[in-house]
Structure 1
Amino acid sequence: MKKKVISVLILTTLVTTLLSGCSTGKSTKTNSENKVTEIVFWHSMGGVGGEAIDKMVGNFNSSQSKIKVTAQYQGTYDDAINKMKSSQQGNAGPDVMQLYDIGTRWMIDSGYAAPIQKLIDADKFDTSTLEPNLLEYYTVNNKLYSMPFNSSTPILYYNKTAFKDAGLDPEKPPKTFDEIKEMSKKLTKKDASNKITQYGYSMAIYGWFFEQLMVKQGQLYANNENGRKDKAAAVEFDKNGAGLKIFKVWKELYDSGNFGNFGRKTSDTQNAFIAGNTAMMIDSTSVLNSVLKGIGGKFEVGTAFLPKLNESDKGGVSIGGGSLWIMDKKDDGKQKASWEFIKFMVSPEQQVYWNKNTGYFPVTKKAYDLPEMKEQLKQYPQFQTAIDQLHQSPLESRGALLGIFPEARQTIETNIESMISNKMTPEQAVENSAKSINSAIEKYNKTNK
């Protein structure tokens, strides 16, 4: 009797288990399929840029259910790099990281990131849809290392209303620095006490502008083809005369009395332009939206290509800004998820949103086919200047790669300040800059063989 009861119980259990397996087999499979891959994205965009990134990340997370991205603001690019170096000890860093353009050589040498080319090839992703000038900067040895994201170039901003008041044609901005000198004389205003109320021209003491004026002259900043054929071993700007040309023009403008020097912070020069304290300035395309909003119709703003130093200059402009890197955490699943996220971030729709909210270039050419982008250009025709300048720049105008670029920029800025305060001549400023930067390059190359 007991054996029969036990047999019935065993049979009942088996049937129940089988039926249970049939009814829940689908959910067991679903648990595996529904596994969410979580990735962390570090960025350095504050203000409206940070708000735009949060919105775009939210758009990605709601567009699918397989990947969840958490965006984390890390402060400045330099702050983010220092945090990333520390995080590598425990492999606790981000899966995707936004890094400034001048960090490219360092990131490649660090080995922290996986070249994005690997994922592009595996996915058969068509890079011809992206802006070639932007891709060119981040391509080293025919391999794309990171995805352009927040890309910008320098342009000339000028006050059309001030041009009219000075008897200048507002539709004919200066094309050369010689023209800037002449126009600045007419644009500079003084009050009854002979105090300048409006400078003709201003330019922040910013190493990026020095680099851009090297590119504009079509000259190399560093040897080994700007550090692209092989690691740069020394600068070239002290040998080819292009660096001295920049320093001399900077000093001549300053000594003219028509040049407003508002220091290293680009925002201070922007504020001077917005307030009408300077009639022209060089600045990034990325601030176009904020400049126009700041002016609020007080005067009409014009934009033009970065002026030439020499009439014969054939160079264009190089990009600034940053790109998105996929970190090499030895996790194929996370790398693939990171790649899906990056593809979304550079899609036409997201790039139009990014442009409208920040002023950075759309990295994909398809963005210009969308009605929203066409409307944006219609509303802000000043941005067309930036697009035309980018497209007319030769691919060779891609700029240099240096592992110590942040330090090099500060060196250039320090020597410009010393030069305009008459502590050294332009020739000495170039010589001192080259000597200091070459020393830093030598130390870097010894520790990054």
Structure 2
Amino acid sequence: MKKSIMLIFILIVGAVFLFAGGKQEKETAKPEAETGAVEERIKTPIETYNPDFTFPTEKIEISYWHVLGTRPGYHQLAQEFAEEYSSIHPNVSITIREIPNAEQRAIWASAFQSHSAPDIAWIEAQVGLMYNGLLETPPWALKMMEEMFTPYAMSLSKVAGKYYGWAGCEIDVGQMLYYNKDMFREAGLDPENPPEYLPEWLEAAKKLTKRDASGRIQQAGVALRYAGGHQGIGDKFSKFGAAFVDTRKRFYYNEDYTDVIFDDPGWIEAAQFYKDLIFNYKVTSTTLPYPIEAVGTGLAAMTNRESFFAGWLEENAPDIDYGIGPLPSGKPPIGNYETGAMPWLAFQGVTVDSKHPEVAWDFNMFMALPENEIKMAKNNGGLSRHKKYVDDPFFKELPYYDVYVYMTKERPLVRNPYQDPNALQAELEAKLGEVALELLTNENSNPMKLMKDLAAYGRKRLKEIK
């Protein structure tokens, strides 16, 4: 009897403990919503690099304008970044506007003059500086850039020692030599060894030029920019000028940016050489279409363009076997100086009109995070800004990768005209385009007078802005 009672007692106690244990397990397994526990959300850049900042809780609207409609897929990428950011900070909504490239100058001018510019802008460096429209990069964002970006990408993000966001332009070396390999073979030139210096380049252009019985050019050795906007024409001429002046120290300006140097003997020599390509050496013609179209349709063998042209050729002229070489440098008797990387510059930064600059900087730097920047770089062209992607196989397979490495490591570090602290670069380049057009279309033009007149104009403008 006692044994039976003891057995019943043990069974009852065991059942109590079993029930209690099961109940306790159920209680600890309650959902986080019932217990009050909250999963830690992802931090955005300002919260990581400026931990003392308290993110606002009120509703905030941020606007972002860009001029990258010519890069298919970019606008959609930007929208995806905005949606991801808003999922982290639900109180922040971001609107994105694509500005047509042809209208951007007028739109930016109106926006800055009326103080209605967006919070964040992808904008030509000189346009942003001309209107004093960009805020300097705050210390926390600069720290992030210094930790993550390559030195070359950092060098493209500042003017006169000041940073205005990060380089929004493609990370490339600017203009490079594009050439038709089949035309090289036919002319007896080595298709794997493009001319690196102007004397050899000129000889190649002569061999590549074909004429009909009347002497009219059927195939130009080189295509030059002579039509379209004056600034674009001036940009192309200036890269020839770089072979005639020491761009490590001077280019449009003297060493301290206090004077223009367009009347320098080197610039005058460059102007004469440019004119001679049409009227003396006769290796090109102003009857050709735009240079990219001339090369793409087989009307010209060589031209200088940026990294985007590789993609253009693959899409629009897939049958052309093309090569890419460094921008030709000067070497006596044609020029005296090696040219270096001179990419076009644009900034992605926060404008002076932003009503929420801290949040605007946060989203701006959110777009520059490695996982986002790599998507932009692969979509837009050029290489990545990030150190961690330097050895990414995707970039090493780009057709201009070897030229990029050579131009940034073997060629001298030169003065980029787009880093003009006087913010006159766009205006001076347009005037340089007027000079180039006169050189290419008027056999009686006077290179020395044209360059001296341009120098006088530049000095007049420098006095006016002081």
* TM class by smaller structure: 0.7 to 0.9
SS at match of 2:218: strand
Instruction: Tell me which residue corresponds to 1:430.
Output: 451
Shift in Å, 1:141: 4.6
| 1:406 equivalent in alignment to 2:433 | no
Deviates more, 1:350-359 or 1:94-103: 350-359
Q: 1:411 to 1:142 in 2, by over 3 A?
A: closer
Instruction: Tell me which residue corresponds to 1:187.
Output: 208
Instruction: Tell me which residue corresponds to 2:407.
Output: 389
Q: 1:183 to 1:88 in 2, by over 3 A?
A: closer
Instruction: Tell me which residue corresponds to 1:305.
Output: 326
Instruction: Tell me which residue corresponds to 2:239.
Output: 212
The within-5 A match list for 1:113-124 is 113-121=134-142, 124=143
In structure 2, runs of 5+ residues without a counterpart are 1-33, 39-54, 227-232
Equivalent position amino acid for 1:347 in 2: L
| 1:284 equivalent in alignment to 2:306 | yes
**For the residues of structure 2 that align with 1:382 and 1:323, how far apart are their CA atoms?**
23
SS at match of 1:273: helix
The within-5 A match list for 1:150-169 is 150-151=169-170, 152=172, 153-169=174-190
1:70 to 95, 98, 105: 95
SS at match of 1:407: helix
CA offsets per residue over residues 194-240 of structure 1, 9 Å max, x none? 4322111122142223443454542313445353xxxx4x311313x
Compute the RMSD of aligned alpha carbons.
Answer: 3.1
| 1:375 equivalent in alignment to 2:394 | yes
Which structure is larger by alpha-carbon Rg, 1 or 2? 2
Shift in Å, 1:193: 5.3
Shift in Å, 1:104: 5.2
CA offsets per residue over residues 263-282 of structure 1, 9 Å max, x none? 8xxx8210110111100001
Shift in Å, 1:116: 1.1
CA offsets per residue over residues 88-123 of structure 1, 9 Å max, x none? 46643200112213335424xx2x3210144425xx
SS at match of 1:48: coil
The within-5 A match list for 1:5-24 is none
Instruction: Tell me which residue corresponds to 1:131.
Output: 150
SS at match of 1:201: coil
Asked if structure 1 preserves the Cα contact closer than 8 Å seen for 2:439 and 2:445, the reply is yes
Q: 1:209 to 1:349 in 2, by over 3 A?
A: farther
Equivalent position amino acid for 1:146 in 2: G
After TM superposition, where is structure 1 displaced by more than 6 Å over at least 4 residues in a row?
none
Equivalent position amino acid for 2:236 in 1: F
Q: 1:68 to 1:136 in 2, by over 3 A?
A: same
**For the residues of structure 1 that align with 2:147 and 2:310, how far apart are their CA atoms?**
27
Higher share of residues assigned helix? 1
Shift in Å, 1:364: 2.4
| 1:101 equivalent in alignment to 2:159 | no
Instruction: Tell me which residue corresponds to 1:47.
Output: 70
2:436 to 400, 416, 428: 416
**For the residues of structure 2 that align with 1:201 and 1:223, how far apart are their CA atoms?**
29
2:463 to 434, 442, 445: 442
Equivalent position amino acid for 2:163 in 1: L
Shift in Å, 1:412: 0.9
Shift in Å, 1:187: 0.8
Deviates more, 1:350-359 or 1:284-293: 350-359
| 1:249 equivalent in alignment to 2:273 | yes
Equivalent position amino acid for 1:248 in 2: Q
Equivalent position amino acid for 1:45 in 2: L
SS at match of 2:84: helix
Q: 1:180 to 1:315 in 2, by over 3 A?
A: closer
**For the residues of structure 1 that align with 2:389 and 2:165, how far apart are their CA atoms?**
20
Asked if structure 1 preserves the Cα contact closer than 8 Å seen for 2:295 and 2:303, the reply is yes
CA offsets per residue over residues 14-62 of structure 1, 9 Å max, x none? xxxxxxxxx9x999xxxx976553211111222335x313323323422
Equivalent position amino acid for 2:255 in 1: E
Give the TM-score of the pair, scaled to structure 2.
Answer: 0.76
Equivalent position amino acid for 1:323 in 2: F
SS at match of 2:169: strand
Instruction: Tell me which residue corresponds to 1:346.
Output: 368
Equivalent position amino acid for 2:402 in 1: Q
Equivalent position amino acid for 2:63 in 1: V
SS at match of 2:71: helix
Q: 1:395 to 1:336 in 2, by over 3 A?
A: farther
Percent identical pairs in the alignment equals: 20
The within-5 A match list for 1:204-243 is 204-205=225-226, 206-216=233-243, 217-219=245-247, 220-223=250-253, 225=255, 227=257, 232=258, 234-239=259-264, 241-243=265-267
Shift in Å, 1:164: 0.7
**For the residues of structure 2 that align with 1:164 and 1:316, how far apart are their CA atoms?**
28
Equivalent position amino acid for 1:86 in 2: S
Instruction: Tell me which residue corresponds to 2:60.
Output: 37
Q: 1:65 to 1:349 in 2, by over 3 A?
A: closer
In structure 1, runs of 5+ residues without a counterpart are 1-22
CA offsets per residue over residues 265-305 of structure 1, 9 Å max, x none? xx821011011110000111233211222111x22111011
Asked if structure 2 preserves the Cα contact closer than 8 Å seen for 1:136 and 1:398, the reply is no
SS at match of 1:259: coil
| Count of equivalent residues | 396
| 1:199 equivalent in alignment to 2:226 | no
Equivalent position amino acid for 1:382 in 2: Y
Instruction: Tell me which residue corresponds to 1:10.
Output: none
Q: 1:330 to 1:345 in 2, by over 3 A?
A: closer
Equivalent position amino acid for 2:246 in 1: G
Equivalent position amino acid for 2:68 in 1: M
Equivalent position amino acid for 2:130 in 1: W
Equivalent position amino acid for 1:442 in 2: K
Q: 1:166 to 1:226 in 2, by over 3 A?
A: farther
